[in-house]
Structure 1
Amino acid sequence: MDSVNGTSGTSGSSSAHDSQSASLGAQSAPTAADTREQELSDELENNPDAVAALGALTANPSYAQLSVEQQVAALDAFNAAPNLATATYLQGAAEQTLDPQATPSALTPDAGTLTLDGQTYSIRNGELIGADGQVAGSIRNDGQVQLNSDTAPRSVYDDINTRVQMRELGPDQQMHDLVNLHAADPNGRLDNPSINREMARLATETISRARREAMDMRVVSDFRSVEEQNALYAQGRTAPGRIVTNATGGSSWHNYGLAVDVAFNNANGQPSWPDNAHWDRYGELAVARSLEWGGNWRGITDRPHIEYHPGLGAGEARTMLPAYRQGGLPQVWNNLGLGGP
């Protein structure tokens, strides 16, 4: 009898313990939204601003009240342009999901400026105000713009030369930038016929994604002649200045229209190269698009530099010099399987 009662008592205790453990395990198991959030955080690790924007979204009380499926959808939408403006919009969208009658101010920027198709508009509570003082359209914090003259909305991120600054009134009653992007190629360097079109396309894609992450970048260097390369090589050696390259004329992919350099815009829209800029994230974006990034080089690293030469290494540019002398840039591009201009 004691044995039976003892066994029965042990079994009941064990069963209750197992049930409680299972319940605690179920409570602590990450949801699909938790998993998606962690994936995004890991991917954006080298862009702390984007990670902070992600945290602002997921810490929002309205976001927390969404279903798991709705949270995943919000995170996927955030990933399209992971920056504070998008996070702010999605906070408002979550509030509206919970209360369809709500009109959250977070959906639109309070102030700012937009230059699109050569026209500059000021932003006032989501409205675009033209030079004549009239309402010319609307803009949302997710970057969607609808001009009165357009038949469909478009994104401020579609053209890398769009100038956009979206600002929001903070709890301190001060205006703060949600996103602030200047023209990325104001001098048309990527349109230079001496730049290979595939190189230009991949550079544009890299910069476009960086802009969606609120990284305000611009192209500062493109094609460089052999003579210009030799002059640059002399700097810090036989000419004044500091050494900036180890490549002599014909040894740089710039000489074949297959490299560009970028910088970050400062607050005034001028090129700068701050050490604390998100260079590693830029490098990740470039490498993901099959570009060689100078930040990965041994010896003299060149974080602003990206290049494209499928089938050849970074140090094999000089092997293209005979082709260049024979048939110019088109011959080099053809030899690399990149076609003509």
Structure 2
Amino acid sequence: MKRNIIHVDMDAFFASVEQMDNPSLKGKPVIVGGLSGRGVVSTASYEARKYGVHSAMPMYKAKALCPEGIFLPVRHERYKEVSDKIFEILYGYTDVIEPVSIDEAYLDVTGGDAMETAKSIKEEVFKKTSLTVSVGISYNKFLAKLASDWNKPDGLMIITMDMVPEILKPLPVVKVHGIGKKSADKLNSIGVYTVADLLNLTRDQLIKLFGKFGSEIFDMIRGIDDRPVETYRETKSIGRETTLMSDTTDKDVLKKYILEFSKEVSSSLKKHGLYAKTVTVKYKTADFKTYTRSKTCNDIISSEKEISGLACKIIDSIDIKEPLRLIGVSVSNLTEGAARQISIFDKGYDSRINRVLKEINSKFKREVITTGSKIQRSI
């Protein structure tokens, strides 16, 4: 049976929520992100995008492009609250939903009328939140996502089997799932700019360029994508990072950030009942080169002290020759709550060790006395 996949993508979500909460901002260039001189744009309203502002852009550049913009800090808790309402609406249509992010999801509505479902979702989201959503429909995930991005904002687009690959040919290669800027640059360097150009490459040529993923690219641009809508996505890692107010080589300054991040990461682990085995420190130099260093434990960990202890050891081991502009901490090799060894960082470690030693000593004495009595009786 041909699948019916819907991709739902909220329009300029963070900025739209700000405009929803403060109607006086509607129609104005709203830019949400880090407000320091070294912050980046998280989301820009469509009014701000007309000035060339986009997500991940340095905030100082956004202010230069759009000096009359309204710059607001990120309010994660509020966006999560609105996101929960939207996902509640989505689950009213199907249980086969794969959340991609706070404002994006795939729905498998195979067997139903995908177009009617898409229209109903758009109407219900707008009625209950006053927010618009762009929806793409197709027979696989790659094409559904392309369709949702086709005529934003408030878009609705369907890509059918007979439209492929003609409809894809004019698109830049960066529109293909998995092809980022670096991969696009690699393709551009050999004269491949559009999907039409990409279609001229053989499977073997793409594999030579991108390894195993090259074979997937070959299939996707021909409308082949068998990835299922996954209703459960395992958390691979939990982390926090920030761009520093000013570049630094001072390890004490970096450790202050590590302590703060370790507390947040530990809280997230405990909230989800998870433990980790690997701690990773991420850092970026002033010339934007990114590095990671990791340590893996024999035992599972979750406490702030355990995480920060390992992260600080990593920092101490790094020879920081160039000033750093970004620092981050993450944990991975996650597992759900389980029996664990006693950690020296755990509260009550000393008292527990002493209690265990006393029990062993007491048991040893009893065994010696019993053995001695048996020997004495046998004599």
Higher relative strand content? 2
TM-score interval, normalised by the smaller of the two chains: under 0.3
TM-score scaled by length of structure 2:
0.24
Q: Which has the higher contact order (CA 8 A, sep 6+)?
A: 2
TM-score scaled by length of structure 1:
0.26
